[in-house]
Amino acid sequence: MSIVMNETKWNVRRERKMSEVRNQAIMDVIKNCISKKNNDIPFYVADFSDVLYKCRYWKNKLPRVEPYYAVKCNSDPMLLSLLVSLGIRFDCASKGEIDAAMAAGAEPSDIIYAHPFKSNTFLRYAASVNVDLMTFDCEQELVKIKRVFPQARLVIRISIPNVPAAFPLSNKFGCTLKQAQKLLVLAQNLDLNVVGVSFHVGSLCEQPFAYAKAIGMAKDLFDMAEDLGYHFTLLDIGGGFPGSTGSTDIFDKMCYYINEALDDHFPEGCGVRLIAEPGCYVACSAYTLCTKVIGKKLSTDMDSDDGEIYKQQCFYYLNDGAYGSFGYGFEKYGYRIRPLLSKSQQASRPILRSKLWGATCCSSDYIVEDCLLPEMEVGEYIVFDNMGAYTRSLTTGFNGFPMPMTHYVFPPQPINKNDKLPPFEDYCKDLGSNKLKSFVKIQDYICHDDSNDDLFRKG
């Protein structure tokens, strides 16, 4: 008889133990991969039990808001297949992302084409596969949609100014409420179907209250639209949610302000569907990257006046870098460095000021400018936590260096012999999903290469 998920869902002590077990499982996989594969290719370990936990936590904290995973964050096909099984829908920004979501098993109705500016070719493709829910924020885009895909259901995107975020977006996308009112009149004249409002407070939003402000602005636009004869049925509150280990407090604050604002402006039973576009929140902490030290040298800079040494730093050259997993802005997602050394090794080695360089020939290819590490040797490994967001999706293959491989862990080992993990179907049911397009075979845990596809079996 399977365990009912709700009975143990929010047992804090059990979740803490599970976290410890997950961490041990990841380290076991890393050590196993290192012992079996004598090569210099970096690799990820993707912990899918962490993804399950995040999805369940979202449902507990934001029960009225449907998550549409932002594919751009991490388009790992295995991850997308898992999310399909869990009933998660998708935010796509291109033909390629639509293809990836549908290849994983998503239906066209599971997708919002959430890029305010779409090429004619991509727009025609969306029409051909019936992905008809999409955003816009200007007159020119409305005219284009009228010409190419007049049957689309449209969501007007407003800008939320003056919100501190790691990556602000309102300077690139969105319109003011005044502009929105004019656009709605134009959409009426063009006989286009506008069904709702969207916004994005910025990636890694630093001001939880910004969601309440944005929801209030969206309600003002709902009221304006009502006066014009519209009856909106959708509100998309965008992304901006953190996903690194240790970011729960700020996420909880965001949820508090979101729920409070939704209760005030869009109370339950109002007939408005509520969605969001988390990316980093889902993927960031689930992926751990293991890199290898392929080179080392001691750098000594000399003072030009008296010849005395004034700075000494150890340079380490890793088998991944800025053109691989450590692309633009990676440091904002809460990475953590862990030298893969035993406690005795760490205790016996000197701590050195260090710079971590990437693998390519480019002089700008560095990972960390200055950090403190125990002295490492060539052939040893450095592990980076919280590497699931905007890492895999930004790799370039520059200089011929390969993309890291990925190994998958799901689920963690039982804590005690009497602890029985429920079958994967129960995880899906717990999240309200009956899709089961694919599901994970449950063993103690599974280490799996992305070059092999037997982790999932199609249902």
Give the residue numbers marked as catalytic. Answer: 361
Dihedral of CA atoms 424, 80, 433, 438 in degrees, nearest 10, equals -50
The terminus-to-terminus CA distance of the chain in angstroms comes to 22
Torsional sign, CA 279, 281, 284, 286: negative
Q: CB of 117 within 8 A of CB of 175?
A: no
Contacts of 103 (CB under 8 A, 6+ apart): 77, 80
3-state secondary structure of 203: strand
- CA–CA dist 164, 173 (Å, integer): 16
Q: How many CB atoms lie within 10 A of CB 261?
A: 20
What DSSP letter does each residue of 169-199 carry, written as one string?
Answer: -TTTS-B-HHHHHHHHHHHHHTT-EEEEEE-
- CA–CA dist 91, 280 (Å, integer): 13
Q: Looking at the DSSP assignment, which residues form a beta bridge with residue 234?
A: 196, 273
What DSSP letter does each residue of 348-397 carry, written as one string?
Answer: HS-EEEEEEE-SSS-TT-EEEEEEEEEPP-TT-EEEEES--SSSGGG---
Phi-psi region of 365 (alpha: psi -120 to 50; beta: other; left: phi over 0): beta
Backbone angles phi, psi at 353, to 5 degrees: -65, 130
- Burial pattern 60-70, b for ≥16 Cβ within 10 A else e, equals ebbebbbbbbb
Task: Give the distance between the most distant pair of CA atoms in the chain.
Answer: 79
Helix axes 177-189, 210-227, angle to 10 degrees: 40
Peptide bond into 77 cis (omega under 30): no
